[in-house]
Structure formats: structure tokens, C-alpha cells
Amino acid sequence: CSEYQKILKSTDYDLKYEKALEYYEEGDYMRASTLLQELISVFMGTDRAEEAHIKYANSLFNMRDYISSVHFFREFVDKYPNSDYAEDAQFMIGASYFELSPKARLDQTDTNNGIEAFQLFTSLYPNSPKVDEALDMMDELREKLVYKSYLSAKLYYHLGTYMGNNYKSAVITARNSLDEFPDTKYREELSFLILDSLYIQAVNSVEEKEEDRLRMTLDEYYAFINEFPESSYMKNANEIFEDVTSMLNKYN
Amino acid sequence: FIGIKAQESTPEISYSGKPQNYIIADIKVTGDLNNDPKILANLSGLKVGQEIQVPGEDISDAIDKYWEYGLFSDIKISADKIEGNKIYLNIYLQERPRLTDINFSGLKKSEIDDISGKISMMRGSQVTPYLVDRAEKYIKQHFVDKGFFNTEVSIVQRDDADTPNHVYLDITVDKKDKVKVNSLEFYGNDVFSDYKLNRFMKKTNEKGKILNFFRTKKFVSEEYENDLKTVIEKYNEEGYRDAYIEYDSISRNSDNTVDIKIGLSEGSKYYFGDISWVGNTVYPGPYLSEKLRIKKGDVFNQTLLDERLFIDDDAVHNLYMNDGYLFSNIEPVDIKIYNDTVDLEMRVYEGQQATIDEVIIKGNTKTHEHVVRRELRTKPGELFDKSELIRTVRELSQLGHFDPENINPVPIPDPEKGTVDLEYNLVEKANDQIELSGGWGGGMFVGSLGLKFTNFSVRNIFNKEAWRPLPTGDGQTLSLRAQTNGKYYQSYSFSFTEPWLGGRKPNSLSVSVYHSIQTGTNSSYYYGNPYSSGMGSYGGYGGYGGGYGNYYQPPMEEDPDEHMKVTGLSVGFGKRLSWPDDFFQFYTQASYQRYDLKNWVYFLMENGNSNNLNFKVMLSRNSIDNPLYTRHGSNFSLGLEFTPPYSYFDDQDFSDPDMPDSERYKWVEYHKWTFKGNVFKPLDNASKLVLMTKVEGGFLGYFDENRKSPFEKFVLGGDGMSGYSYYGSETIGLRGYENASLTPYNEEGRQDGNIYNKLALEMRYPLTLQPSATVYGLLFAEAGNSWSDFRDYNPFGLKRSAGVGVRIFLPIFGLMGIDWAYGFDEVPGRPNASGSNFHFVIGQNF
């Protein structure tokens, strides 16, 4: 019978707590969490409850049980909004969602939850030393959302004319994403995708819409080279320009 | 509230004097305690060392806290001692008793299960008067709702002698007899006869009448109220829009029955008058009237009007809803009623057209988004279209990755921008299947292992992180299967399907490979197919063949000098068509099989090999709404499989009867035509009871009479299990007959089904449609037969059968089922083949 087993069975809560903190400091979160889980209810209504609670949630986080850690950090923030640990807990809600957030091709509910949690954190504790870290993580989550919409736009672009005009859908999806996240690192890709989609739409257009669409493409071209004069897509963009201007000749 | 109670030998606290401050020196908790005293002490919020005022708020606050927990029936806080400014507190707590167990009497097991889940009293939880009271009311209501109006419930709390402060609850329920309907009388009815009105009352029926034999005779007031509404609806449907229940009386009799009297005021019959449209700019009034399909002079039928306006697929409002007018509305208003005619004005609010802005996909925790998004018919930039939305939901459920009963599209309109976002909420469904089966037959073990992954991701196969436990999410199907009896038979198969080859168009590619080796045995002859299927499916949506049960065969010894090896490869390509309509699909496949035989006396030739290179084209149309429990839609396919007609260009003469089979069948030739059709139709309003009608037939033809194919024949009868079978034949099920029993034999004693026909009618009723299990029962009647030759073909000479069965779909195991069927017709030469037969089914839909 190990020492841990003895402690587990003991009813000496002070000892249990002391040992729990020891395990916690040593990084043995498995044991720490088992002890702390019990102590949270034992200490209900005392100062120690707060500490047991936050350390329990931290242990869960360190054990990568993020689904549970979100729950307990949230509960902590609700229960002890004025605690010294509340700031930390709010940050950790975001951090837990950050870990839960799956790759861009999957459901992004946790990503959105994470952004929301970090937003709340930065507005509640603007002077926290962790604000920079929160902003970085928030950015990463946002970029994931942009990447997701980039994939969607690209999919519509690739679907082409399958079951309707998918180029239009590609343009709308990419524009929505740029409106929502103007300073994304995918800005150039999204912008070129818009230009390219508009171009394909224009050259395959029915006659009465052709001129309009060509001019729209031309406008988009100027905006693009203006914003990305050094773009790696420049060659393709210029080809589009040449083709569009020559097609526009008959309207001038 | 008295904060501190004065007791003997404890310090006297004066309540009249000035409150004094004390420091808490100790807190003791007494009473019958189930919890740790320390925890209980903490609940008070009082701490040792804290300074409190006595008498004062600190103590009363602590008492309030205890009351709030609701766990205690008595709470007292007193001082044991006061020394100077130190106070020793004693908290006395009487905990409410906890529940040891509930004993029910007067109820059946199933009734207890029904109830105990809902009265929310668990062992170990505290018993409060409120909970007991609520339980009593709940139980009573539960049975009243079921027609037991006189139910009596008593709950007795009894101390548990073994555990302190614990109690038993003895719940005694006397349901008494159900209240039944003795008589049901109608007054004032001319339009409908008493008989008809009785039929309208679906759940309220007189007892003792033969007509009501199958109907419930209980009196349940809720059902009764619904039935009254139905009666009025029926009047409304016939134009009696003023009809109402003038009075109704329910009188109790001593024998637990009721007499019901219903007085009706029917009013007069109305007809539709002029129907005019206002507010419509998109469609002209006459066009809308035509779509409404209600003419002046028709009987005024409110139900029909609602259906034609809003509910039917081709309802008038859907003209708008399918063309972006998401905000539109139509309000029918009576503008003039004269004599028996009602003039209607349809007030149309069109609003602006809504364009789809964002399409959001949620709930795909496993399936990659593009697998879903590429299937959506609702796209950003297009006008909102309700019919496309409904079609999309149907197609998503066909994908098989999501729970079909739980696909929930939510339009989120933004009237200001004139746009709408569409959010598809999905729930992932475990769709991979494992088949592991074993059986004992012929003195040896026959085992098979099959794995089918329907949401595989090949590109992640080298990505370590994606193996959790398998790379998933790209919607590809991968199946692997191995089967052996350890001694003389082994088979392996592999197949892979990519539904969107290249990711730009829904063109599917399927590849499958299989190989089987059978070494000889000393058994003289056996027929049929002792092994279950070798191939799960050739790539389409088909089920997964399985091995179950019947492995019986006479004991055999292995003979290594004899063998038959079959190797096959097939590549298929599928394409969705947009003409004649976009439910059509075209599938084409090339496949090659090689049979390699050595000293093989059981089939065809002893030594040599036979090759079958064939091409298949199949045109199919599939519009079923849900692959697991289909309610609507149909599924048709027309297939042609053929080999090159070697006879037309090689000069060999095959008419010599002494030609060795190894030469005759070196390259097999044939053409094979198949037709299959299923139609599903719901029979009740709730779309639960579903009728499936099935027609199918096939014909195997030859190019040269002397070179008829020994392969690809139809084997009819039995459970129909197997996708690819033993000697390259196609197994067709016909329940009520033994496996393969309805197959003719040729002079050489080989199965020779070249033509077959089958018809089936099946009624299905779902027992549960949860994602964790889909279970339905079925009743069926079917008929079919197979023939060697067109000369014998007789479409009326079908063997008939009927039976019952059940199907269970579990996510991991796929579809399983058992049927009992009775074959009515005798099979010549097989006296035991018909009659009562049980059939096990795995992974296949009849």
C-alpha cells in the first residue's frame, strides 16, 4: 500500500490538501486532480475551495482533458468572479478552447468559443501580462477561420460550373472572409482567388452580362496590383489583364 | 429567528441586552450526520478565529445558509461555552432522511421502469416532503393519461433499520380498472352518419362492438378532445365551416365505464366563391389561381386550402419560397359571404428576394467540410430555394456520414441586407463496420474478418497524426475482407471507392481486387455456397456481405493436388447525370476474373483455366430519402454486362460436343441484362408505416449456342446473402425457400438459372430510429422463379411465399436481421425446400 493510497483513504483533509499541492508542484497532475476533486466539495464555502478549484482545473488542463478543464474554469469564473485567480481562469478558458479547436476542415465551434473567451479576457483584464499571449492565440484561431473560408472559396472555384455558377459563390465566400478579417495573412490568396473567379465568370459570360463582368474584373485587377505590387500571382494577374482589355476592345 | 437557544448548562444569552462581540474558538457539529462534520461546518460560512456578534446577523446568516441547502430538517446553533470573548459554537443539524430504496407494489416491471426514471428519486438522495408529494402526483397523472382514471397512489415512508437516518419509500399503486367507453352517441348530425362519426373518433370507441375489435376502448380525455377536433375538421373539409360541438356530456357509470353524448351543430355547407389575389407582382393572379387548383363552386375545404397554399410540394407559397422570396407570406381573407358562397381575397406579401450569403456547416467533428460542402445545392450568391434545401437534406442523409434523423438546416435571414445565411447542423454517425464471424462446419472452423471504413482519407495515410485510430474524413470507402477455414479455403478481397475523383465533379472511381484459393477435398459433390460472400460490395452503396450461421457441410479431407484459384480485378467509374433528371447515375465497369483449376472434378473442367473479361454498364435512378429507414422515393437500375463476342471473330467451331471444356471456356462469353426497381411509399400520416414494392428480373444470354457461359448465372432462393459468390453466380433471395432451391439444373448437374423474375411487397414499421440503433419490423409477400431457357419461361409460374421479420441496424455491425417465411409452393424434386424457413440476413436490404 503506497503512501498515495493511504492519503487517498485518509480523512485528514489538511494532510490531503497538503499532499495534493505537493503532487501538483511536482507535476503529478493525475494524483493531484484525484485528491483535489474531493477537496473541492469538502472545502465548500472556505478560502481553500477557491484554490482547490483552480488547481483542479489546471491539473485537468495539464492532463489534456480540455473538455473538462473548460467546464471547471468556466465554473470558477462564475463562482468566484472577484477571486485573484479569476483572471487566470478566464485566460485558461480561452487556452482550453485553443487546444480543443480542431483542424480547419472540421467544425469550428470550439474555435469561435476560444475567440470569444479571449475577447472577454482582453476586455476584462486589459493590463494583464497575458494579454499579448491571448492576442496571439486569438490571431491563430482567427487565421484558422480564414483558412477555412479560403478552402471553401477554393472548393467553389474548383467546382466551377458543376450544378450552377460556383465562381460567384467563391467570390462571395472570399469577400465575406476579407470583410470579417481584413488583416489576415491569407489576404493575397483570397484577393487573387476573387480576381481569378471574376475573370473566369466574365470570359464565360452570356453576351448581355459580358461587358459588365469584364469591367468588374478590370477594377478588381487594378485593386489587386495596387495592394500587392510584388505579388507572386503577378504573372497570372497580368495575363488576366491582357485578356480582359483585349476583350473589352469591342465595347470601346 | 432565535439565533442562540438557551439551554441548561450552556451560557445564557440575553436577547434584550446589547449585542456583544466574540471570537469563535471552536465549531462543533452534532446530530445524526451522514456527511463529514468538517464539511458541514464549512457550509455555515463561519470560521474559527472569526469575530461575530451575538446575538447578531452572523448566526442567522449561517442558519439561512443551511436552510438554503435544503438538506436539513432541523438546524440549531448554540454556544457550548463562553470564556471571556471566546465562544464555543455547537451546530446541531438534523439531516433529512436519505433514500435506501423504493418498493413498488401493484405495478408491472415495465410500468415501474417507465415511472422510476421520471420521479427523479435516486438511492442515497434526500427525501423531502416536496419530492414525495410530486412523485405521488406524477404517478397518478401517468396512469390517468393511460385511461386509469381511478388510480390511487399511496406513498409510505418507512425507517431503514440497518442504516441510520435512511428510509424506504413504499409506493403502492392501485390502478383500478381502466375506464372504458360504454356508449357514444351523437345528436344533431345529418351530414355524417353515426357510423362515420364513430370512425372519425380514432381513439374513443364504444366497447362491445365488433367494428371496434382492433381499436382502443379506453377513455382518455386528452385523446377524446383530439377526436372532437378531428370531427370538426372533417366537417370543415366537407364545407361545413360553421360546424361546432354544441354540447358534450360524459357520465360515469358504476362499472367503470362512461356514456358520452355529443351534440353537434353542423351549420350549412359552403362553397368557394371568387378567389382574388392582391399584392402579387411576380406572378399574375390567374396563374396563382391555376396553381391553387381550387375553383369557384368547389366545396369550401379549409384543410385543402391550407395544403394548396402552404403544405404540398407544389403549394402556391412554394412558388415564392423556391424563388428567393423567403420573407413572403400569403393570407387568405374572407371578404364576402353570401348564401352558401365565400369569396376569398389572397393577400400576398412578396417582400424582396433573399440571396444566400454564407453557408455554414456545423457538427462535422470527423468528416472534412469539403465532403459536405460539395454536396450542397444551396450556394452563396444563389436565391434562396426551399426545394433545393429539402433536396440537400435528403442527399446529406444519403452520404451515410451523418444521422439522417438529425439533419437540421436553419435559415438565418437578414431582412435588411436581403440575404440569408444557411446553417446546416449535423450529427456525425459512426459508419464503419466490422465483421468478425466464425462458425463450425464440416468438422472445421470457418472464420472471416471484414472491415469496412466508409469515411476514409487516403491522403492522410502517411500522416501520423491522422491515425486516431484511422485517417478519416474524406468520405472514401475502403473495405478489406479475409475468410478462411484454415484448411482448404482462403479468400481475400480489397476494395476502394473515391466518390469525387479529382474533387471537382462527383465522378466515382472504384477499384477492387480479390483472390481465393480452394484446395481439393475428397467429398464427392455439394451444391450451393457453403461460404458466404467474398466481396462486400463492388463500390456502390451496397451493403456488406457477411457470414452468419450456416456452415454445415459433410466432413471433407484436404487434397493438396487439387485446387481452384480465382483471381479478379475490377475498375468502375460512376457519374451523376443531369438528364433525364438529376437523380440518374451512370456506372461503367471493366472486370476480369481468372479461374485456375487443377485436378478439379467438381466444376467445369479438371485442368486448365477459364477467363472472364467483361464490361458492365448500368443506368440507375435513386431518389430514396434515407438509406436506413426509407420512407419515400424509388430506386431503379437497368444493367447490361457483356464480354467481347469472341464467337463473331474467332473461327473456331464449338459445335463439336467432344471439345474439352478447358478449350471451350478458355474465354467465356455472354451478355447479361438485369432490371431492379424498388418503390417506397408511406401509408400513414406520420410516415412510419412504409410499403416497399419491388420488381426485378434478369436474363443471361449467349452469342454462340455451343459456348454458353457457365458463369454469371442466377441462383434463386433463400436469404440472398452474398455479393460475389463461389462460381461467379449471382445470388437472388427468395424467402420461404431453402438457399438456391429455386434454381434449375442442366444435364451435367450444374445450376443453370438463365432467366429470373421476382416480385415482392413489404410493409415496414419502425420500432426505433435512434442513431445508436435503427430497428424495424416487416411483413412481406414475395414470388419469384428462375428458368434455364426462354422456352420454359412462365411469368405466372412463380413460387410464392410470405412471412415476417425484423431488421436491426447498429452503427458498428451494420444491418442484421432475421426473417421467418413460409413458401407456399412445392419445389419439384426438393420436397423439403419450401414450407417454414428461417433466414438470417447481414448487411443486405431486401
pLDDT in tens, B214-264: 777 888 888 899 999 999 999 999 999 999 999 999 888 888 888 999 999
CB contact under 8 A, B36 and A176: no
Which residue ranges in chain A fall short of pLDDT 70?
1, 44-45
A11 Cβ under 8 Å from any chain B Cβ: yes
Band (pLDDT 50/70/90 cuts) for residue B51 is confident
pLDDT tens string B448-474? 788 888 889 988 888 888 887 888 889
CB contact under 8 A, B368 and A109: no
Nine cell digits for residue B134:
410530486
CB contact under 8 A, A42 and B44: no
Does the pLDDT of residue B540 top 80, yes or no? Answer: no
Q: Which residues of A touch B39 (CB under 8 A)?
A: 41-42, 44
Distance CA A231, CA A240 (A): 14
CB contact under 8 A, B380 and A172: yes
Distance CA B347, CA B343 (A): 13
Q: DSSP for B249-274?
A: EEEE-TTSEEEEEEEEE-----EEEE
A159 Cβ under 8 Å from any chain B Cβ: yes
- Chain B residues with at least one Cβ partner in A under 8 Å: 36, 38-39, 42-45, 47, 65, 357-358, 361-370, 373-374, 377, 379-382, 473, 503-506
For the segment B318-329, the average pLDDT, to the nearest whole number, is 94
Does the pLDDT of residue B726 top 50, yes or no? Answer: yes
Does the pLDDT of residue B725 top 80, yes or no? Answer: no
pLDDT tens string B410-438? 999 998 999 999 999 999 987 777 777 66
CB contact under 8 A, B36 and A44: no
Who wins on pLDDT, B343 or B219?
B343
Q: Which of A163, A164, A176 sits opposite B357 (nearest CB)?
A: A176
CB contact under 8 A, A109 and B47: no
Distance CA A244, CA A236 (A): 12
pLDDT tens string A184-209? 999 999 999 999 999 999 999 999 99
Distance CA B666, CA B644 (A): 13
For the segment B571-575, the average pLDDT, to the nearest whole number, is 95
The position carrying cell 377513455 is B219
In chain B, the percentage of residues whose pLDDT exceeds 90 is: 41
Query: HSE (CB half, 13 Å, CA atoms) of B179?
Result: 22
Band (pLDDT 50/70/90 cuts) for residue B41 is confident
CB contact under 8 A, A44 and B43: yes
Band (pLDDT 50/70/90 cuts) for residue B748 is confident
Distance CA B336, CA B321 (A): 29
Q: Which residues of A touch B382 (CB under 8 A)?
A: 164, 168-169
CB contact under 8 A, B361 and A164: no
- For A49, nearest residue in chain B (alpha carbons): B42
Pick from B690, B696, B687, B789: nearest CA to B746: B789
Q: Which of B39, B65, B381 sits opposite A42 (nearest CB)?
A: B39
- For A163, nearest residue in chain B (alpha carbons): B377
Q: Are strands B419-425 and B444-456 parallel, antiparallel or unpaired?
A: unpaired
Who wins on pLDDT, B122 or B268?
B268
Residue B645, φ and ψ in degrees, nearest 5: -80, 75
Does the pLDDT of residue B186 top 50, yes or no? Answer: yes
Does the pLDDT of residue B175 top 60, yes or no? Answer: yes
CB contact under 8 A, B39 and A155: no
CA distance A129 to chain B (A): 33
CB pairs under 8 A between A and B: 80
Q: Which of A15, A38, A152 to mutate to test the interface with B (most CBs of B within 10 A)?
A: A152
Who wins on pLDDT, B415 or B120?
B415
In chain B, the percentage of residues whose pLDDT exceeds 70 is: 90
Q: Which residues of A touch B362 (CB under 8 A)?
A: 107, 109
Question: Which pLDDT score, from 0 to 100, does residue A10 have?
Answer: 80
Q: Which residues of A touch B40 (CB under 8 A)?
A: none
> For residue B473, which amino acid is it?
G
Please, which residues have CB within 8 angstroms of residue A72's CB and are 6 or more apart in sequence?
A53, A56, A57, A60
Burial bucket for residue B68 (CB in 10 Å: 0-12, 13-18, 19+): exposed
> A238-251: string of b/e by CB count within 10 Å (b at 16+)?
eebbeebeebbeee
A152 Cβ under 8 Å from any chain B Cβ: yes
CB contact under 8 A, B381 and A11: no
Nine cell digits for residue B656:
463439336
Q: Which residues of A touch B504 (CB under 8 A)?
A: 158-160, 162
CB contact under 8 A, A152 and B47: no
CB B430 within 8 A of CB B445: no
Q: Which of A43, A101, A107 to mutate to test the interface with B (most CBs of B within 10 A)?
A: A107
CA B645 to centroid of chain Cα atoms: 46
Band (pLDDT 50/70/90 cuts) for residue B17 is low
CB contact under 8 A, A107 and B362: yes
Question: Which pLDDT score, from 0 to 100, does residue B723 have?
Answer: 43
Question: Which pLDDT score, from 0 to 100, does residue B12 have?
Answer: 65
Q: Which residues of B touch A162 (CB under 8 A)?
A: 504-506
B52-56 own/partner pairs: CB under 8 Å, 24+ apart: B52/B21, B52/B22, B52/B24, B52/B87, B53/B19, B53/B20, B53/B21, B53/B22, B54/B3, B54/B4, B54/B13, B54/B19, B54/B20, B54/B21, B54/B22, B54/B79, B54/B87, B55/B3, B55/B4, B55/B13, B55/B15, B55/B19, B56/B3, B56/B19
Question: Which pLDDT score, from 0 to 100, does residue B7 have?
Answer: 44
CB B788 within 8 A of CB B754: yes
A109 Cβ under 8 Å from any chain B Cβ: yes
CA distance A10 to chain B (A): 12
Which residues does residue B24 pair with via DSSP β-bridges, in sequence order?
Answer: B87
Give the CA-trace dihedral at A16, A22, A25, A31, to 10 degrees. -50
Does the pLDDT of residue B44 top 70, yes or no? Answer: yes
CB contact under 8 A, B473 and A106: yes
Does the pLDDT of residue B689 top 80, yes or no? Answer: yes
For the segment B308-332, the average pLDDT, to the nearest whole number, is 93
For the segment B816-836, the average pLDDT, to the nearest whole number, is 90
CB B354 within 8 A of CB B419: yes
SS (H, E, C) B803-832: EEEEEEEECCCEEEEEEEEEECCCECCECC
CB contact under 8 A, A172 and B43: no
CB contact under 8 A, B39 and A46: no
**What three-state secondary structure class fits B142?**
helix
Who wins on pLDDT, B540 or B176?
B176
CB contact under 8 A, A155 and B370: yes
Distance CA B561, CA B265 (A): 92
Question: Which pLDDT score, from 0 to 100, does residue B548 have?
Answer: 38
pLDDT tens string B487-539? 678 889 999 999 999 889 999 999 999 998 888 765 443 433 333 333 333 22
CA B92 to centroid of chain Cα atoms: 57
A105 Cβ under 8 Å from any chain B Cβ: yes
Distance CA B424, CA B429 (A): 15
Sheet containing B257-265: which strands, arranged edge to edge?
Answer: B180-187, B257-265, B244-252
Distance CA B178, CA A98 (A): 59
For the segment B45-52, the average pLDDT, to the nearest whole number, is 82
Q: What is the ipTM of this complex?
A: 0.93
CB contact under 8 A, B373 and A45: no
A41 Cβ under 8 Å from any chain B Cβ: yes
CB contact under 8 A, B44 and A45: yes
**What three-state secondary structure class fits B570?**
strand
Lowest mean pLDDT among B158-162, B378-382, B426-430, B504-508: B158-162
DSSP annotation of B124 reads T
Q: Which of A41, A42, A106 sits opposite B368 (nearest CB)?
A: A106
CB contact under 8 A, A168 and B380: yes
A113 Cβ under 8 Å from any chain B Cβ: no
CB contact under 8 A, B373 and A44: no
> For residue B382, which amino acid is it?
E
Question: Which pLDDT score, from 0 to 100, does residue B673 have?
Answer: 95
CA distance A150 to chain B (A): 12
DSSP annotation of A148 reads H
Question: Which pLDDT score, from 0 to 100, does residue B1 have?
Answer: 41
Distance CA A70, CA B790 (A): 72
Band (pLDDT 50/70/90 cuts) for residue B335 is very high
Q: Within a 10 A sphere around the Cβ of A85, how many other Cβ atoms?
A: 19
In terms of pTM, does the model score above 0.90? no
pLDDT tens string B582-618? 899 999 999 999 999 888 877 777 888 899 999 999 9
